[in-house]
Amino acid sequence: MTFFDPINYQNFYKTIFKHDAEVINFLKDFEPDLVIGMGGYPSLSICSAVDRSDKTVVVIHEQNAKAGLVNRMLSYWKALGVIEGLPNGFGRITKFFVDDCVFLGNPVRQEIVDTRKLPREFPDNSKKPRILIVGGSQGARSINNTVPKAMHLLSQKIDLEIRHDTGKADYKEIKKIYEELNINATVSEFINDISEAYGWSDLVIARAGALTVSELSAVGLPSILIPYPHATDNHQFYNAKFLVDKQAAEMILDQDLDPDKLAIKVESFLLEKDKLKNASIAAYDKTFVLATEKISDYCIRIIEKGPIVLSSESPH
């Protein structure tokens, strides 16, 4: 049984933007049983060619809590199966057109899943709360500029341990700010071992990308999420809302982010009895622990179900 993922199959990148006939010929030569579309226009290019194959089925996987344009289009037009990485990524209209739409989560690396632990309880004067700030590989300037000042306010009340991933662009400046504020923080451009960092932390401050939300769910980590304000269709807001609605996280909009507000949010997790513990329990979701296995099983079932047959090559 052969599988083809148009995003991860690197050798196909040089083909995917060429004439449609070459894409069709590739599919005929490769003869995949399954094409998994992960969103974006590369997925559109190949998934839209699949109906000319006599055996290949299309499954799409949407990472975010609000589906992107390409995945919405393919769900109406080409997909025999639709997987939601976060629940309710597709609306009622999509589910009307596709009778096999399921929430199975986003796959999370095993080393991250294995960091699951019982949450440390606060308030407790015998130990220091550990705060992890993750801006992503490119950093997040508004978060980077706000967090040191918020940590300075908190440090006057609570003795903290702080690790801050700034991204490359802001590293020197943010490290200097911590030093000027006399805050002992571990500042890095990038966290090489995020599983170790998750295992170390009690509370995470981060953007609300689908991968971050999924990892926090697999580990069971409470968080304060600041959605990236320019994300397509504001999907990071909806990603964050998934955890906020379960009382596993607090959300601050980027436009509202300031040191005082952030400090108050962090303080509430650390000083309100059982809030951190209860948020950790609420965050943990076994869907994300089992996502890889469940998605594999689902795809096999869709292959066995057989290819979709359409009378027209135009979208509904």
> Long-range contacts: 83-88, Cβ < 8 Å, 24+?
83/59, 83/295, 83/298, 85/61, 85/210, 85/214, 85/291, 86/210, 86/213, 86/214, 86/238, 86/239, 86/242, 87/242
Using one digit for the tens of pLDDT, what is the confidence trace for 152-179? 999 999 999 999 999 998 999 999 999 9
Domains and CATH numbers, the chain: 3-108+289-305 (3.40.50.2000), 117-283 (3.40.50.2000)
CB within 8 Å of 5: residues ≥ 6 apart:
35, 36, 38
Check pLDDT > 90 for residue 23: no
Confidence of residue 78 (pLDDT cuts 50, 70, 90): confident
Q: How far is Cα 87 from Cα 218, in angstroms, rounded to an integer?
A: 15
Residue whose C-alpha is closest to residue 198's, from 144, 133, 289: 133
Specify the pLDDT at position 6: 52
Of these ranges, 9-13, 74-78, 107-111, 136-140, the one predicted with the greatest mean pLDDT is 107-111
Using one digit for the tens of pLDDT, what is the confidence trace for 52-68? 556 889 999 999 999 99
Specify the pLDDT at position 120: 85
Residue whose C-alpha is closest to residue 275's, from 122, 108, 82: 122
Residue whose C-alpha is closest to residue 175's, from 145, 142, 206: 145
Distances (CA, A) of 139 to 144, 190, 263: 8, 9, 20
Confidence of residue 96 (pLDDT cuts 50, 70, 90): low
DSSP string for 128-143? --EEEEE--TT--HHH
Mean pLDDT rounded to a whole number for the chain: 87
Whole-model pTM: value is 0.87
Percent with pLDDT over 90 in the chain: 65
Using one digit for the tens of pLDDT, what is the confidence trace for 222-246? 999 999 999 989 999 999 999 999 9
CA-based torsion, 205, 209, 212, 216: positive or negative: positive
Residue whose C-alpha is closest to residue 207's, from 145, 150, 252, 162: 252
Taking only Cα atoms into account, the Rg of the chain, rounded to an integer number of angstroms, comes to 22
Specify the pLDDT at position 309: 54
In the sheet that 3-4 helps form, which strands lie side by side, from edge to edge? 3-4, 34-37, 57-62, 81-84, 101-103
What's the rounded mean pLDDT across residues 16-30? 71
